[in-house]
Structure 1
Amino acid sequence: MAKVQLQGVRKVYDNGQVAVKDATFEVADGELMVLVGPSGCGKSTLLRMIAGLEEISGGTLTIGERVVNDVAPKDRDIAMVFQSYALYPHMTVAENLAFGLKLRGHDKATIDKRISEAAQTLGLTDMMDKLPKAMSGGQRQRVALGRALVREPAVFLLDEPLSNLDAKLRHSVRTEIAQLHRKLGTTMIYVTHDQVEAMTLGQRIVVLKDGVIQQIDTPMELYDRPANLFVAGFLGSPAMNVLRGTLQASASGVVVSDGDWKAPLGHATIDPRWLDKPIAVGVRPEHLQPADAGAEWTFEARIEGIEPVGNEIFVNLVSGQHALTMRVAPRALPAVGETLKLAVQPNALHFFDAETGERLNA
């Protein structure tokens, strides 16, 4: 096991495109760190630089206590699991697991011991004689994990390993990866564009946009205190609602106003310097609720759609120029096209600079 440190790591292509800009963070020994962001944000490029598959344009990359900027991939003591499984189709599971160890000159006893342990850990013992074509996607991904596992590397790198699986299998294999990490305690760096994977797997998460790190923190800290509007909108499903307008104080509390449209925020804690200035107010869908009868601070919205998903309902709404989503427990609601009075929880609001998108702290 080993910690991984990046200090000002950059990737600039020959055409001048900056794929990763000054990435600085540390993955602790034994930590599962997730790199997440939309397609093209630089997360896979960053992982490939750690693996040695992409040349580093600037900065320092350290694995353990060794700077590895110019070290060949095979000498970095890492193992990588790819999106495409990359199994040899003509080899059985046992042969796929053993292949890398044979290339490295390990003796037969060591190879047999390692592949037996990996097969038992990943539930592959009864499949050792199967070819990849006779296996499901989830089983093939477990073989790919096993091939990395038998290497006993200092660091595991996983590049969107679940993106080829259906929803049910993704959940199953995601659980297996989390259990595997808890059992092994090995340093893992996991790349995904799926924020649900990031939130459920990562001990900490690195959020990237356009090659720039936006925030690094634990899943719940990112959810509860996003550093900017991008993080606020990217993490959370459904995404955070954003009310844009001007903050105003009134006798009955604080409101955000956009022309004739107003949404009361009740006794939300604000900095007086924000008053009478353009602002973006974030409201998670679960903190936007139908108003109780006689509630003091309410505003109206038209129901555009109702999505029952079993244990909860997503309600799509429009209020003024704002498209909103509300998350509620199953309940009777007005029909689509009708209006509904809403209330926000004033102690659960997020305030952002309307121009820069950066979080404003009360």
Structure 2
Amino acid sequence: MASVRLDNVRKVYGNGQVAVHGASFEIANGELMVLVGPSGCGKSTLLRMIAGLEEISDGTLSIGDHVVNDTAPKDRDIAMVFQNYALYPHMTVAENLAFGLKLRGHAKAVIETRVREAAQTLGLEAMLDKLPREMSGGQRQRVALGRALVRDPAVFLLDEPLSNLDAKLRHSMRTEIARLHRQLRATMVYVTHDQVEAMTLGQRIVVLNEGQVQQIDTPMNLYQRPANLFVAGFLGSPAMNVAYGRVARADALMLVLDDGGLLPLPVTPALERVLGERIALGFRPEHLQPAGEGGAGFDVLVEGVEPVGNEVFLNLAYGTQALVARVAPNAMPRAGEQLRMAIDGAHLHLFDAESGRRL
């Protein structure tokens, strides 16, 4: 295994489009790092530069102790797993697993040993004689993982490998990949647009938007302390509630919303420090809860109720401000009812209203 280091790595296409703006970070030896962001954010381009499939316009890329900017993909000691499996349809599972090793001239005994070990690791022993068309999507993705596994590479690169699977299979394959990582202690770089995959798989996550790194941290630190409004809105489902306005004090602390409404706020030292300033105030749906009979808070209109089993999402309106609350599945309100809600002051997020950065 090996570490991967990017120093101000850029990708600029011939038409002048900048796909990646100066990415700098290190993936530790044995770490599972996830690159996440919306379509077009540059995450797959970064992965392809690590693989050698995209030329680096500027900056330095190192795998282990070696700068690999000009190293051919086949000489980088990496293995890739793609979204579309890329299995040879006329070959059996065993032949698919062995194919890359045969191309590299490994001895027959070595190939048989590695294929057998990969099959045991991934639960494919009973399928070695099957063709890809005889297998489910999850089984085929396991074969694709196995084909990378037999290579015993320094770095595994996984490009949205679960996108073609249904929800149940995605969950089981996430578990499989996490188990495989723990077992191999392998260096893995995993690209996805799915925040659930990112949060559940990544030891650390690189959040990208428009080719720029927004934040790098552990999943829970990203959720609890997003560096800016983009990260706050991208990670978390439903997304964080954000209200824009000026913090003021009359009889109590409040946010004078941009539409002129008044949003009552809990008293916190952080809010006291920004009195008179226009901010973006964020709070997660689970931190907006019913205030109780006669409790402090504000009245909202219930516009929609979404029960999902162990929790309920309430789509609420406070004047022109749309809000979402995540509540327990107790006595559920109906659309059109009014509720009194309160914000948990211990879990507020304050951002600069113009730049979006965390205050």
Normalised by the length of structure 2, the TM-score is 0.98
Could you tell me which residue of structure 1 aligns to residue 280 of structure 2? 280
2 CA distance for matches of 1:125 and 1:188? 24
SS of equivalent residue, structure 1 residue 303: strand
Contact 1:10–1:23 (CA<8 Å) still a contact in 2?
Answer: yes
Question: Aligned AA for 2:239?
Answer: A
Question: Aligned AA for 1:150?
Answer: V
Shift of 1:168: 0.5
SS of equivalent residue, structure 2 residue 269: coil
Q: Equivalences for 1:216-231 in 2 at 5 Å?
A: 216-231=216-231
| Residues 202-242 of structure 1: CA deviation (Å, up to 9, x unaligned) | 00000000000000000000000000000000000111000
Q: Equivalences for 1:14-93 in 2 at 5 Å?
A: 14-93=14-93
Could you tell me which residue of structure 1 aligns to residue 211 of structure 2? 211
SS of equivalent residue, structure 2 residue 220: helix
Could you tell me which residue of structure 2 aligns to residue 341 of structure 1? 340
Question: Aligned AA for 2:4?
Answer: V
| Residues 283-340 of structure 1: CA deviation (Å, up to 9, x unaligned) | 10000001122212x1121111101111000111111221111001101133101211
Shift of 1:257: 3.5
Comparing 318-327 and 55-64, the one that deviates more: 318-327
Shift of 1:117: 0.4
SS of equivalent residue, structure 1 residue 216: strand
Q: Equivalences for 1:128-277 in 2 at 5 Å?
A: 128-270=128-270, 272=272, 274-277=274-277
SS of equivalent residue, structure 1 residue 248: strand
Contact 1:254–1:268 (CA<8 Å) still a contact in 2?
Answer: no
SS of equivalent residue, structure 1 residue 168: helix
Could you tell me which residue of structure 2 aligns to residue 110 of structure 1? 110
Could you tell me which residue of structure 2 aligns to residue 355 of structure 1? 354
Contact 1:11–1:58 (CA<8 Å) still a contact in 2?
Answer: yes
Question: Aligned AA for 2:323?
Answer: L
2 CA distance for matches of 1:218 and 1:35? 12
| Residues 62-114 of structure 1: CA deviation (Å, up to 9, x unaligned) | 00000000000000000000000000000000000000000001001100000
1 CA distance for matches of 2:65 and 2:265? 51
| Residues 154-177 of structure 1: CA deviation (Å, up to 9, x unaligned) | 000000000000000000101000
Question: Aligned AA for 2:94?
Answer: A
Contact 1:268–1:349 (CA<8 Å) still a contact in 2?
Answer: no
Shift of 1:146: 0.1
| Residues 110-135 of structure 1: CA deviation (Å, up to 9, x unaligned) | 00000000000001000000100111
Contact 1:304–1:318 (CA<8 Å) still a contact in 2?
Answer: yes
Distance 1:259 1:93, change over 3 A: closer
1 CA distance for matches of 2:300 and 2:267? 21
2 CA distance for matches of 1:198 and 1:247? 34
1 CA distance for matches of 2:61 and 2:324? 42
Could you tell me which residue of structure 1 aligns to residue 119 of structure 2? 119
Comparing 190-199 and 325-334, the one that deviates more: 325-334
Question: What is the CA RMSD across the aligned residues, in angstroms?
Answer: 1.1
1 CA distance for matches of 2:320 and 2:27? 43
Shift of 1:254: 4.3
2 CA distance for matches of 1:323 and 1:252? 23
SS of equivalent residue, structure 1 residue 266: coil
1 CA distance for matches of 2:333 and 2:123? 50
2 CA distance for matches of 1:258 and 1:340? 23
Could you tell me which residue of structure 1 aligns to residue 331 of structure 2? 332
2 CA distance for matches of 1:277 and 1:333? 37
Question: Aligned AA for 2:325?
Answer: M
1 CA distance for matches of 2:255 and 2:279? 11
SS of equivalent residue, structure 1 residue 118: helix
Question: Aligned AA for 2:226?
Answer: P
Unaligned runs of 5+ in 2: none
Shift of 1:245: 1.1
Could you tell me which residue of structure 2 aligns to residue 304 of structure 1? 303
2 CA distance for matches of 1:166 and 1:349? 35
Question: Aligned AA for 1:333?
Answer: M
Question: Aligned AA for 1:328?
Answer: V
| Residues 238-273 of structure 1: CA deviation (Å, up to 9, x unaligned) | 110001111112343344544542221211222655
2 CA distance for matches of 1:49 and 1:257? 45
SS of equivalent residue, structure 2 residue 89: coil
Question: Aligned AA for 1:304?
Answer: E
SS of equivalent residue, structure 1 residue 79: strand
2 CA distance for matches of 1:334 and 1:256? 28
SS of equivalent residue, structure 2 residue 265: strand
Normalised by the length of structure 1, the TM-score is 0.97
Question: Aligned AA for 1:98?
Answer: A
Shift of 1:277: 2.1
1 CA distance for matches of 2:329 and 2:74? 54
Contact 2:245–2:255 (CA<8 Å) still a contact in 1?
Answer: no
2 CA distance for matches of 1:61 and 1:299? 53
Q: How many residues align?
A: 359
1 CA distance for matches of 2:301 and 2:271? 31
Contact 1:248–1:257 (CA<8 Å) still a contact in 2?
Answer: no
